[in-house]
Amino acid sequence: MSNLPPHNLLTVLGPTASGKTRLAVALARLLDGEVISADSRQVFRGMDIGTGKDLHEYGTIPYHLINILDAGEEFNVFAFQRLFLAAFEEIRCRKRLPILCGGTGMYLDAALRGYRMVAVPENHELRAELEQRGMEELAELLRNLRPELHNSTDLLDRQRTIRAIEIAQYEREHGHESEPFPDIRPLVIGIRWERSELRRRITERLQQRLEEGMILEVERLHQAGVSWERLDYYGLEYRFIGAHLRGELSRNDLFQKLNSAIHDFAKRQETWFRRMEKHGVKIHWVNGDADPLAETLEIMRQVS
């Protein structure tokens, strides 16, 4: 084991608008790497501005787990882990460096913490029973099965709540049987900004995305058949813009409320990263307002 390199996966994480993609791409160019997205929404085609894909930044750098599903389809952390592990092995087989990049905490956990998630089969009898229950009753049932519930998005969509109950019930009955986890030795880089500067970047980025046509993007998705309920499930930008398009929010209220919600979301991301550290994930923090690329390369030299 002593002859193995200290890491075989480089990870770049940080809150929204922190410059993760730019740093990951710069590292990929220097280190002969390929980027794997750890974002719960960038998997969907047609959801570009609202998810902040910034595909123009990649240039010739290969990327994975972006634009692999049609908007409206279901995607979850189990599917992410399976696809991440496949991409990781594929990139390693090409003798290149996998670079995981994103800010979705559960997805990062699924890649970094060494537990393999179980494929839970559908329980049609249980589903038929749950379909008869109201949303409040379903939410209470899920909380009883999972008192530590941290993924509140499971409570925003009825079918997602039913699936979460199905998984929790299966795990209670069968335990956490799982396949061995691959040998992944991650070096984790986190981008940190001073709070007021991050807030400024978030606001500036939101203004830019609105000017680039984010409202039109959401309108087109709905016209293509994606329901308002499904758009709500896809996160803040789609939820607030959907309310605006339905006449529930003025243009000014849309900006003010969405901007505030994204600031709160960034705080929750930072809380998640601190939780990851408490659970044993070593994060090497670099300063976003300095030279994060140079700092990252120096960290890599120190740990090699």
pLDDT in tens, 182-205: 899 999 999 999 999 999 999 999
Q: Does the annotation flag 17 for ligand binding?
A: yes
Looking at residue 170, its pLDDT comes to 86
16 carries a ligand binding annotation: yes
Name the nearest CA neighbour of 9 among 29, 22, 23, 28.
28
Query: 165-198 b/e with 16+ CB inside 10 Å = b?
Result: bbbbbbbeeeeeeeeeeeebebbbbbbbbeeeeb
**How confident is the model at residue 30, as a pLDDT?**
97
pTM (2 decimals)?
Answer: 0.83
Pick from 69, 154, 63: nearest CA to 106: 154
Is 18 annotated to bind a ligand? Reply is: yes
CATH 3.40.50.300 correct for 9-117+179-303: yes
Closest CA to 258 of 215, 196, 228: 215
Q: What is the pLDDT of residue 186?
A: 96
Give per-residue pLDDT as tens, 119-148. Answer: 788 899 999 999 999 998 988 888 888 776
Residue-level pLDDT at 1: 36
Q: Which residues of the chain are under the pLDDT cut of 70?
A: 1-5, 148-157, 175-179
Residue with tokens 């600031």: 263
Terminal-to-terminal C-alpha distance of the chain:
14
- Residue ranges per structural domain of the chain: 9-117+179-303, 124-174
According to the annotation, is 21 in a ligand binding site?
A: yes
